[in-house]
Structure 1
Amino acid sequence: MFKQIPCKKLKFSSYYRIFVKIRKVTKDPTYNEFILDAIYFKLIDNLQNMEKRIFEISKKVNFQAYMEGFTFYTGYSYRAIPIDIVPRLVSKDFFNKVSRYLIARSYVLNRLIKEVYEEKSSPIPDWIIKTAPYFRPEMIGFTPPKGIYIHVYGADIVRVNSKPYILEDNLRIPSGIAYAYKSFEYVSRFIPELMEGYNVSPIQGLEYLHDILRYVSGTKDPVIVLLTDGVYNSAYFEHKFISDKLGFILVEPSDLKIKDGEVVVDTVDEGEIHVDVIYRRIEDLDYLTPSLMKAYLRGWVTIANAPGTGIADDKASFIWIPYLAERYGVKMDFVIQPITLCLYEKDNLEKVLNYPTKYVIKKREGYGGIGLTIVKDDNINIIKEILKEYENFIAQEVLDFDTVVSLLGDSFYETYADLRFFTYYDKVATAILSRVGVLGSRITNNSSGGMVKPVWIIE
């Protein structure tokens, strides 16, 4: 069983102790347990100097964020996303090492997709590809512009005893960078004194998105549109933020037309104009915009991420990434991949059924917390579901990952938090999203009701 974080307030006197808590002793003589903890010392001093003012400032930050539309649509209403104003700090060295790993992993993922669609072979068990919900057989034999399938890659990472573990890959329509930008901006704007004594890396990332989309367009000044399904998309705030920031035309499916060998969009000022690149933030392309897939396969427009990338972020494919790295001769070190079991295999299924509380259960096509269960007290419902369709689930070891200190209301709490990194083909954004789980929970997805906190990379 994993430990539960008690949902109780932390005394301010214990604040320092929690940040620099003694971790488990490592047997690796090259690993210094306290390097990363030490970068918090000055932040603690800055927070203590503010005393109780910090709680009032937190309320102002969150009110301002809500008024500016910093929200997440739940399917019923727009929920304010609370901002935890206590920054999470990572060293520049840590960021650089994770970046090298993610760029290498992105290459492996792209290579897997290429082998399936272009080379018409399956380097992993064929049943995984054929049963993947986002497999697009019409992509077989097609080569996307510049051979790039994955333009935007979101990786979810947690730290266990300060060491990074990757939990999953997000390749179809990864989201969250706008929340990283805005949480960083709000804290910098309202509480600049927290940065005193630090040299914090400037936040970057969206320019990398622009660069890779311009590169695959094949033109110097392409027309790029961001395709959304509208204000009721859970991440619409981000769609608007990116389009405003980068000058992309924000369009809904009905705005696009396929005619005379090109894709065009209706605009207010210029009427119909040619579209070079569609940065898609929706899945059902053909249903919402008939013939768009056909136009893409004929080379009339570029779509990012490419249709069919879902075969590589299928949870069953995740298991095979270390093997594929070795197959392709790619070195991936520093970040650890946790034990992950495919329940299609009888031995693995028995392990999970016999000891369910040792695992996080995930549906293969799940995302954003959907289809994820941390089994507690032998949850009968999920066990029944596994028995019914075991081939659609994987199980991942429960990680006792590091906690952080969060400010909520008028108190500090110990919480679980992850790190989502964004890779734009061969560049990793310094805009990192840290999602904070609700009190006592390890599930950190925005859809699960948690907070976000800014991440500072310390030079």
Structure 2
Amino acid sequence: MRDSAYNEFLRDPIYYKLVENIEKLGDRIFDVNRLVNLRAYMEGFTFYTSGRYRSVPVDILPRLLSSDLFSSLSKYLTARSYVLNRFIREVYEERSIPIPDWIVKTNFHFRPEMMGFSPPKGIYTHVYGADIVRVNGMLHILEDNLRIPSGIGYSYAVFEQVYNSAPELRDGYDVIEPTGLEYLYEILRYVSGSKDPVIAILSDGNYNSAYFEHKFISDRLGIILVEPSDIKVEGSEVVVKTLDQGEVHVDVIYRRIDDLDFITPGLMRAYLRGSVVIANAPGTGIADDKASFVWVPYLAQRYGIKLEGVVQPLTLCLYERENLEKVINSPRGYVIKKREGYGGIGLIIVKDDDVSVMKEMLKEYEHFIAQEILEFDTVTSVVQDYLYETYADFRFFVYYDKVATAVLSRVATLGSRVTNNSSGGMVKPVWITR
């Protein structure tokens, strides 16, 4: 492996043994990588995008985190989860908007009917996904994902594939088993108020980009996988249609889709009446907004919650004239993002030959933010029969107050910094070591 100023594998001592293990495997590493990818494909390890199912490529070289670093990061992510949940509660329950109110009121996912409503146990954000990168070894947070964050099923699957197929790579490491799905079940059971609730995961079917994960969670947790047409509201009761038991009462719906009003008529009214619990709660998108992200440090201070150990990069709301001019004058220094964008949609990195993309931003600049471009650490990846340096991030999963040890690392395609699955990248396992 050639030296690099940013290659995590070569800069962090935790990787020294892994590099030794890779060198012992020699060219067999490429055979093992092909085998793992074949097995993943046969097991339906896919992501639906651009009108087709795409096999998600697996890079078998794991990223490593020490248990001490994970513990420190967990404290930060739990605290951030509290801040975001508290912000949503202040807006809806307390009818107070602590940031510029137009950000909330122009958010597509703002739900005025939630005003004055208190969700079970006061929890809005049952599941929270945080995107993290390392810059010279220091952790930076890029985004908060609170509406329907995905990836936990992919993290389990890629961990298991590599852990079982390439035992030589973990020689000398004590790797912690992935957790997270049990945390999901615990938080859903907790908010249900029942010891043995009936839980359904709501998907819009096998054309959803993350349908692999929906089915994976359903199978692993033994919860019902349903589509909108399977749900009926009968008086004060919500029932779902199943193949083996007919119609059954449901206590909790873990939703993986938006637009509940349009595709599940009556469900929102049933939720507001207390007939069913919906997770994440409708309206959490106000904290998913990339303009709200700018205000999280202020909100943490407002609520007396400390956020320590992770850097939030410079992020500018472009509704402010001064900020807009900064980006116009130096566009190649920023990643430009649509406020409601996700999965790489609405994300622009301006290059020398495509300054014309600024035109769209200038038309509706209030719907965009700009974040400083970070020179984040590259990692070593297996791509076909070669080792390359690639950019990669971490997606961590928080279940209100518990952080999963199942972590996903998404790898950008060669030459790109965009790591989202929908952009065609790979995934790596993440090993937390004792």
CA distance in 2, matches of 1:317, 1:17: 30
Q: Give the deviation of 1:415 after TM superposition.
A: 0.4
Partners of 1:356 and 1:378 within 8 A in 2: no
1:396 aligns with 2:371: yes
What is the match of residue 77 of structure 2? Answer: 102
CA distance in 2, matches of 1:69, 1:20: 30
Task: State the SS of the aligned residue for 2:125.
Answer: coil
Partners of 2:8 and 2:137 within 8 A in 1: no
Q: Give the deviation of 1:380 after TM superposition.
A: 3.4
1:181 aligns with 2:156: yes
What is the match of residue 239 of structure 2? Answer: 264
What is the match of residue 275 of structure 2? Answer: 300
CA distance in 1, matches of 2:389, 2:405: 25
- Amino acid of the residue matched to residue 415 of structure 2? G
Q: Give the deviation of 1:21 after TM superposition.
A: 4.5
Q: Give the deviation of 1:381 after TM superposition.
A: 3.2
CA distance in 1, matches of 2:389, 2:214: 32
- Provide the TM-score with structure 1 as the length reference: 0.93
CA distance in 2, matches of 1:294, 1:52: 59
Partners of 1:201 and 1:457 within 8 A in 2: yes
CA distance in 1, matches of 2:23, 2:137: 25
CA distance in 1, matches of 2:2, 2:81: 43
- Amino acid of the residue matched to residue 13 of structure 2? A
Decide which of 347, 357, 374 is 1:382's aligned counterpart.
357
Task: State the SS of the aligned residue for 1:300.
Answer: coil
Task: State the SS of the aligned residue for 1:417.
Answer: strand
What is the match of residue 397 of structure 2? Answer: 422
What is the match of residue 255 of structure 2? Answer: 280
Structure 2 gaps, min length 5: none
Decide which of 113, 116, 132 is 1:141's aligned counterpart.
116
Q: Give the deviation of 1:251 after TM superposition.
A: 0.2
What is the match of residue 167 of structure 1? Answer: 142
The root-mean-square deviation of aligned C-alpha atoms, in Å, is 1.4
What whole-Å deviation, never above 9, does each CA across 1:296-327 have from its counterpart, x for those lacking one? Answer: 00000000000000000100000000000000
Q: Give the deviation of 1:215 after TM superposition.
A: 0.1
Q: Equivalent pairs: percent with the same residue? A: 68
What whole-Å deviation, never above 9, does each CA across 1:401-459 have from its counterpart, x for those lacking one? Answer: 00000001111000000000000000000000000000011000000000000000111
What whole-Å deviation, never above 9, does each CA across 1:344-376 have from its counterpart, x for those lacking one? Answer: 000000000000000000000000100000111
Closer, same or farther: CA 246–128 of 1 in aligned 2, 3 Å: same
- Provide the TM-score with structure 2 as the length reference: 0.98
Decide which of 220, 233, 252 is 2:195's aligned counterpart.
220
1:449 aligns with 2:419: no
Partners of 1:75 and 1:232 within 8 A in 2: no
Partners of 1:153 and 1:424 within 8 A in 2: yes
Partners of 2:337 and 2:370 within 8 A in 1: yes
What is the match of residue 371 of structure 1? Answer: 346
What is the match of residue 198 of structure 1? Answer: 173
Task: State the SS of the aligned residue for 2:71.
Answer: helix
Closer, same or farther: CA 388–13 of 1 in aligned 2, 3 Å: closer
What is the match of residue 357 of structure 1? Answer: 332
What whole-Å deviation, never above 9, does each CA across 1:1-29 have from its counterpart, x for those lacking one? Answer: xxxxxxxxxxx56699955656xxxxxxx
1:328 aligns with 2:269: no
What is the match of residue 34 of structure 1? Answer: none
1:310 aligns with 2:277: no
Partners of 1:16 and 1:44 within 8 A in 2: no
CA distance in 1, matches of 2:139, 2:353: 29
1:237 aligns with 2:212: yes
Closer, same or farther: CA 129–75 of 1 in aligned 2, 3 Å: same
Partners of 1:156 and 1:421 within 8 A in 2: yes
- Amino acid of the residue matched to residue 73 of structure 2? V
For residues 103-142 of structure 1, what are the structure 2 equivalents within 5 Å? 103-142=78-117
How many residues get paired? 434
- Amino acid of the residue matched to residue 186 of structure 1? Q
- Amino acid of the residue matched to residue 360 of structure 2? E
